[in-house]
């Protein structure tokens, strides 16, 4: 490849995408070939293998993942680098691509500079790999020649109880090993010759080269070093190694003598375990926990994190010892320790400080609510009784939380403050937690109260729907409504959606509430059909969690059947972000509902993953231009250009366009001029309760003077 022009195969079912990539690659002098499908690509590669492949993921028939798996499975094509080109930007798609064997990813639309760099770098890596393959073959021949010179040492080497390895510094391969080395590692001599020192070492080739050069230069002479070596079965062996260098012609031979010290290490490990870990639970003891906390605080300063210490004390634990005995108490502590570990992440630390006192170190990189979540999990795991000596034992815990560096900077003070906060939790009645900082306590309690109030709001049916009209610009008539969730909280009045909807989504309550919204909207449609208002479409907002944790399809179909309404009178509004959650399941659900006649619209279009690719994959009927572009559409040329582009693109795809947030005559005039289909906003009506809405619908009191004057 270094002496010829590289050939790049472009695989994409869209001709315009293939042409675009060819155009981008042309200035670099690459030879490009194209394939319109996975099957066509495999046929072309079988005839003439390219140097690199640009592979689209989403294709009819055989997709990019399948093509990559086939290519990487064949020795003839496994070394051809693959760059996945995709409009998908979710983590699962990238993991699937890596699992299939792709080396790189490019996101559509493709950036020219990024394309050139990724192609150039992968071609260089391939050229280097090809060179290494040829070079290693030459090295192996040299090793075989040198083996004859070393044969006289074999008898003496085989007689020793230590493993002996002779490595050529020039080739970085074994030139001789003794029988003890083969027995110790489980290899034959030839297998070790083929494997090389890096395969049995915990170090890379470059690290070994540096070590060997130091030995040749006279460093580390006669020094013993403890290390691990990898056996053939994948296990590791603790060894003590002595290495020295011997010149052999123009080369240097590194002589390594390794002695198995597994038993010695295991003995030291047992002593360390006894000194630093709790014998009963296996958790870090007080000494190790304090050390871990000090280290975590140092690391948090470098990473600019917060660190929380959560102190846990079991309530009335003495009663267990007094009634069931200390053996039962120990069993309870052991089981509780295992449950505690399920409440935290791997990077967190759980320790037993003594008796029934436990403590946790929680790293807070960007989630201040995390200690609260962990405390909630601990309370939850204690709801399930413990099985102790054939009896069920129920126990609770009091917890105290302190945060570094907000409350203190010294690790001993943090633990003291956490203990103080735990005492406050006991004073508050046990089975709860308290923060050491009063302000944080107030915030946590307010959030907790809000969550509890939302649970009660569902039980007590405190939610109501407000409706905002959608107006058809051609006629000036109301042709639909958006149902908007409102909370009439007792004692507080109408609560702002910005305050409670995020909490509904975070806690998962949005699944139940969303089901209620769908059912209520369908019930209202049925009521109007049988009244003087007549059939009128209602759109409801759908959250991503309703696809993942609920069964949106069942909710919608059940509501349509129960109230016997045409499916076309129900519209589901989804944000671009919610479309990207569990994409395949979302597509299947929406396609099924679309086949029944349910309308689908994308809310806040232009602010998320706006892409022609997902508009093509999802069964969309309408796009709603986000209010951010409408707000300054008459004063900001960029917003005007974006709004106009969305309108034209949607119409070219035979989609309707709705502009939300229309508040002025100037905005209305702009949307009329450029043939937006529908609008909604305060210019016509804010979201209103049902009674007010029905007056509007019945009296036709909307001010349509501008429309009549067209």
- pLDDT tens, residue by residue, 161-193: 788 889 999 999 998 888 888 989 999 989 999
- Tens digit of each residue's pLDDT (9 = 90 or more) over 486-530: 999 999 999 999 999 999 988 889 999 999 999 999 999 999 998
Q: How far is CA 302 from CA 299, 306, 368, 562, 642, in A?
A: 5, 11, 18, 59, 42
For the chain, the structural domain boundaries read 7-133, 160-264, 277-436, 454-700
> CATH fold of 454-700, please?
TIM Barrel (3.20.20)
Question: Looking at domain 277-436, what is its CATH homologous superfamily?
Answer: Reverse transcriptase/Diguanylate cyclase domain (3.30.70.270)
* Burial class of residue 615 in the structure, from the number of CB atoms within 10 Å of its CB (0-12 exposed, 13-18 middle, 19+ buried): middle
Q: What pLDDT was estimated at residue 126?
A: 80
Contact call for residues 483 and 539 (beta carbons, < 8 A):
yes
Tens of pLDDT along 333-354?
A: 999 999 999 999 989 999 999 9
**H or E segment at 38?**
helix 38-47
Over the range 465-499, which residues count as b (16 or more CB within 10 Å of their CB) and which as e? Answer: bbbbbbbbbeebebebbbbbbbbebeeeeebeeee
What pLDDT digit, counting tens, does each position of 538-562 carry? Answer: 999 999 888 888 889 999 999 999 9
Q: Among residues 63, 78, 82, which one has the least CA distance to residue 12?
A: 63
Superfamily of 7-133 according to CATH: Response regulator (3.40.50.2300)
- Domain 160-264 is found in CATH 2.60.40.730: no
3-class SS letters over 58-91: CCCCCCHHHHHHHHHHCCCCCCCCEEEEECCCCH
Predicted confidence at residue 369, as pLDDT, reads 87
CB atoms within 10 A of CB 148: 8
Q: What's the count of helices (H) and strands (E) in the chain, helices before strands?
A: 29, 26
The CA distance from 710 to 705, in Å, is: 9
Token readout for 633 is: 């559409």
Residue 153 has pLDDT above 60, yes or no: no
- Both tokens of residue 457? 């709001």
Cα gap 316→397, rounded to integer Å: 9
Which of the 8 DSSP states describes residue 507?
H
Closest CA to 565 of 515, 511, 520: 520
Percent of the chain clearing pLDDT 90 (strictly above): 52
Band of residue 707 on the pLDDT scale cut at 50, 70, 90: very low
| Cα dist from 538 to 672, 687, 689, whole Å | 23, 13, 14
Closest-CA residue to 119 (of 180, 219, 192, 51): 51
């Amino acid at each position: 490849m270094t002496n010829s022009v590289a050939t790049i195969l472009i695989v994409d079912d869209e001709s315009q995408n293939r042409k675009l990539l060819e155009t981008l690659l042309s200035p670099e002098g690459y030879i490009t070939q194209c394939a319109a499908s996975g099957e066509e690509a495999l046929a072309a590669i079988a005839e003439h293998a390219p140097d690199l492949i640009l592979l689209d993921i989403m294709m009819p028939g055989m997709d990019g993942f399948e093509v990559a798996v086939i290519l990487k499975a064949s020795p003839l094509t496994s070394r051809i680098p693959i760059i996945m080109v995709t409009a998908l930007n979710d983590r699962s798609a990238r993991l699937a691509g890596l699992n299939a064997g792709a080396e790189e990813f490019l996101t559509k639309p493709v950036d020219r500079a990024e394309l050139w760099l990724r192609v150039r770098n992968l071609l260089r890596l391939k050229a280097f790999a090809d060179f290494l393959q040829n070079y290693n073959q030459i090295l192996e021949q040299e090793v075989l020649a040198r083996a004859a010179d070393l044969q006289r040492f074999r008898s003496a080497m085989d007689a020793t109880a230590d493993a002996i390895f002779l490595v050529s510094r020039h080739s970085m391969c074994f030139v001789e090993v003794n029988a003890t080395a083969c027995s110790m590692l489980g290899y034959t001599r030839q297998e070790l010759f083929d494997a090389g020192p890096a395969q049995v070492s915990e170090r890379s080739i470059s690290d070994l080269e540096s070590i060997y050069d130091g030995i040749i230069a006279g460093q580390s002479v006669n020094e013993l070093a403890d290390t691990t070596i990898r056996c053939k079965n994948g296990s590791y062996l603790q060894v003590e190694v002595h290495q020295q260098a011997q010149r052999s012609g123009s080369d240097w031979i590194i002589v390594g003598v390794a002695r198995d010290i597994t038993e010695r290490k295991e003995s030291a490990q047992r002593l360390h375990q006894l000194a630093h870990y709790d014998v009963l639970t296996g958790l870090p003891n007080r000494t190790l926990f304090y050390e871990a906390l000090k280290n975590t605080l140092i690391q948090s300063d470098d990473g600019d994190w917060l660190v929380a210490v959560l102190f846990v004390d079991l309530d009335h634990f003495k009663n267990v010892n007094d009634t069931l005995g200390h053996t039962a108490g120990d069993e309870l502590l052991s089981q509780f320790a295992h449950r505690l570990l399920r409440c935290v992440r791997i990077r967190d630390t759980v320790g037993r400080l003594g008796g029934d006192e436990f403590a946790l170190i929680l790293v807070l990189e960007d989630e201040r609510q995390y200690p609260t979540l962990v405390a909630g999990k601990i309370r939850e795991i204690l709801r399930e009784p413990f099985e102790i000596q054939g009896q069920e034992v129920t126990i609770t815990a009091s917890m105290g939380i302190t945060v570094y560096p907000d409350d203190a900077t010294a690790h001993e003070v943090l633990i003291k403050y956490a203990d103080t906060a735990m005492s406050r939790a006991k004073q508050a009645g046990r089975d709860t937690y308290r923060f050491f900082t009063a302000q944080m306590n107030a915030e946590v309690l307010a959030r907790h109260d809000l969550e509890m109030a939302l649970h009660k709001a569902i039980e007590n049916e405190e939610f109501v729907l407000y409706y905002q009209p959608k107006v058809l610009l051609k006629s000036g008539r109301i042709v639909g409504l958006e149902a908007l969730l409102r909370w009439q909280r007792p004692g507080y009045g109408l609560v702002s959606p910005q305050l409670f909807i995020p909490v509904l989504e975070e806690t998962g309550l949005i699944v139940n509430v969303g089901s209620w919204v769908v059912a209520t909207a369908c019930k209202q449609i049925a009521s109007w059909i049988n009244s003087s208002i007549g059939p009128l479409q209602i759109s409801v907002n759908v959250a991503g969690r309703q696809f993942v944790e609920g069964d949106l399809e069942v909710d919608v179909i059940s509501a349509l059947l129960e109230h016997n309404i045409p499916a076309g009178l129900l519209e589901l509004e989804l944000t671009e972000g919610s479309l990207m959650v569990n994409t395949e399941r979302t597509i299947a659900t929406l396609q099924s509902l679309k086949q029944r006649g349910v309308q689908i619209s994308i809310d806040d279009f232009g602010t998320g993953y706006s892409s022609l690719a997902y508009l093509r994959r999802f069964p969309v009927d309408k796009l709603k231009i986000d209010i951010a572009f409408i707000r300054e559409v008459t004063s900001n040329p960029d917003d005007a250009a974006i709004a106009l582009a969305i309108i034209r693109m949607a119409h070219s795809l035979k989609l309707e366009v709705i502009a939300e947030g229309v508040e002025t005559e100037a905005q209305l005039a702009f949307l009329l001029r450029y043939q937006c289909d529908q609008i909604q906003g305060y210019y016509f009506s804010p979201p209103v309760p049902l009674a007010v809405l029905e007056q509007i619908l019945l009296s036709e009191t909307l001010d349509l003077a501008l429309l009549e004057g067209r």
